[in-house]
Amino acid sequence: MTYCVGICLKDGLVFLSDTRTNAGVDQIGTFRKMTLFQKSNNRLFTLMSAGNLAITQSVKEVLLQGQLSNGKNLWNVANSHDAAAVVGDAVKQIYDRDHKALEKAGIDFNCNFIFGGQVKGESPRLFNIYSAGNFIEATPETCYFQIGESKYGKPILDRVLNYSTPLNLATKCALISMDSTLKSNISVGLPLDLLVYEKDSLKADKLVTIDESNPYFQLIHELWGEKLREAFNSIAEPNWSGSKKSSAISSPAKKMGVISINREIRKTAPTKRK
Amino acid sequence: MTYCVGICLKDGLVFLSDTRTNAGVDQIGTFRKMTLFQKSNNRLFTLMSAGNLAITQSVKEVLLQGQLSNGKNLWNVANSHDAAAVVGDAVKQIYDRDHKALEKAGIDFNCNFIFGGQVKGESPRLFNIYSAGNFIEATPETCYFQIGESKYGKPILDRVLNYSTPLNLATKCALISMDSTLKSNISVGLPLDLLVYEKDSLKADKLVTIDESNPYFQLIHELWGEKLREAFNSIAEPNWSGSKKSSAISSPAKKMGVISINREIRKTAPTKRK
């Protein structure tokens, strides 16, 4: 599996992806899910992928070759929205090529992308592109997308992130979200690829590959578990007797009583027919 | 959907279930997922269910009627393992009755149970029963089971729980796990049914239904988000310049370089054939 998270903020974008791929538990490999596309001083795009690796690698190749039928590619489109449409077209192209054979083999056409970046003159933008090639865009109200094994790492994003979160805090949040996923799911694994993109820079200055030896990821990995346990311990235990009002747990619910307890149904023997 | 968690500890058992059921977003209902079976001073069992409600209600009904073909039921079996087998037999009975019609309708035979309790003379035991009626048992190494929307609430269980955790702490942990799930997934909803079972009590003394007005759940709901943000804020931000060694994020990975940046492939025009 995979876990990727992309965040679109007032100050820029954060992209984080793992590198584990598996087809069954005994076929585990390392493949990068992040690809960068740049035209100096004009645009920078980042693509992250989840799903069937044969599909996502083919889509990436189409994009790198830049030869889409209508003459548009990631280096010549006018804006990020059109760039997302180019990615969508690449997905459709691979669908047309492969879907019949995949269907025969009983395999879903399964791929999912986070794509975002900035073209000079517009704001940074972030998209989630589906396997049909259609896509949605992040907004200030919903400023992040996740693909792959997204559920373990969602609670911390929901608690901390909003559109005004500074890039450095969002980076920390993304890494904690990844650390929670790594801990609970073995199909997601190190190293990680991280890009923190500062609005209007049009450059990938903060691009790093993170493995076990990365001091900051070590710090997150060790401290977060500890801090979480501290937070856990600082909350009062449930009080069953009702002696402490603030932590009383046995107070009855308003609309529903406590569930009933079932004892054996004693049956009378059926009366014999005469 | 559903979220239920069952925990088996040295001191007893904790069962927590939500009550939301949905078939599409406009058919949302409240159904209890927890059922208690008791024989005074001899045994107490708890069943929690996830999956197709028509299936799980039928299984529950078979168990309540106590008329399994081989004469065994939850009130007369010798131990908890045999009781789990009785639940498995009830699942198989409903499978035999319904699976053909479900197949015709294109519906999976989808059900999943957490079942546990204690029979006088043995320790408390906990089982996860699958839709084939087979089951596994919790051990000191893996002391909890989740069914339904399990991923959001798994990280906190993984960080905090072990077999020696006191019942009150495990209760707090289960409620935080539920609160995280409620926050990230609207298909899980209040009220909650909670049973904290003390080893050898053979009684359901700590049984409560929790809604929005429950003081302890309010406390968890308000404090946990706050404490989580405090924990988050207490961790240093990533340091990109490398000036602070402990939080340096830009240190290179050992085996892999940073991903390369793709610029447009300039193609030479194909040579015309003479």
User: In angstroms, what separates the C-alpha of B172 from chain A's closest C-alpha?
Assistant: 6
The pTM of this model reads 0.86
CA–centroid distance for B64 within its chain: 23
Going by C-beta distance under 8 Å and a sequence separation of 6 or more, which residues neighbour residue B97? B58
How confident is the model at residue B255, as a pLDDT? 86
Put simply, the answer to whether A37 touches B262 (Cβ < 8 Å) is yes
Query: What is the assigned CATH class of domain B3-229?
Result: alpha beta
Taking the domains of chain B in order of start, what are their residue ranges?
A: 3-229
B274 pLDDT tier (thresholds 50, 70, 90): very low
What does A197-224 look like in DSSP terms, one character per residue?
EETT--S--EEEEE-TT-HHHHHHHHHH
Nearest CA in chain B to A256: B209
- Kindly report, residue by residue over B180-204, the tens digit of the pLDDT: 998 888 778 889 999 999 999 999 9
Q: Which residues of A touch B209 (CB under 8 A)?
A: 252-253, 256-259
Q: Answer whether residue A219 shows pLDDT above 80.
A: yes
Q: Answer whether residue B68 shows pLDDT above 70.
A: yes
Interface of B with A in 70-99 (CB under 8 A): 73, 75
How confident is the model at residue B23, as a pLDDT? 67
- Kindly report, residue by residue over B70-107, the tens digit of the pLDDT: 889 999 999 999 999 999 999 999 999 999 999 999 99
Bridge partners (DSSP) listed for residue B112? B50
How confident is the model at residue A34, as a pLDDT? 96
- Kindly report, residue by residue over A71-106, the tens digit of the pLDDT: 899 999 999 999 999 999 999 999 999 999 999 999
How confident is the model at residue B25, as a pLDDT? 67
B272 pLDDT tier (thresholds 50, 70, 90): low
Enter the tokens of residue B223. Answer: 């404090």
Mean model confidence pLDDT for chain A:
92
Nearest CA in chain A to B180: A155
Instruction: Indicate which of A162, A173, A210, A264 best probes the interface with B, i.e. most B CBs within 10 Å of its own CB.
Output: A264
Rounded average pLDDT over A109-135? 97
How confident is the model at residue B135, as a pLDDT? 97
Minimum-distance CB partner of B253 among A196, A214, A223: A214
Q: Answer whether residue B254 shows pLDDT above 80.
A: yes
Among B135, B163, B154, CA closest to A188:
B154
- Kindly report, residue by residue over A176-216, the tens digit of the pLDDT: 999 999 888 877 888 999 999 999 999 999 999 999 999 99
Bridge partners (DSSP) listed for residue B115? B47, B127
Measured CA to CA in angstroms, residue A142 lies from A132, A148, A153, B85, B185 at distances of 22, 18, 16, 46, 15
How confident is the model at residue A274, as a pLDDT? 47
Q: Please state the ipTM of this predicted complex.
A: 0.85
Interface of B with A in 121-140 (CB under 8 A): none
How confident is the model at residue B28, as a pLDDT? 77
- Kindly report, residue by residue over A250-265, the tens digit of the pLDDT: 989 988 899 999 998 7
A220 touches chain B (CB under 8 A): yes
B221 touches chain A (CB under 8 A): no
Bridge partners (DSSP) listed for residue A218? none
How many CB atoms within 10 Å of residue B222? 11
Among A175, A170, A136, CA closest to A9:
A170
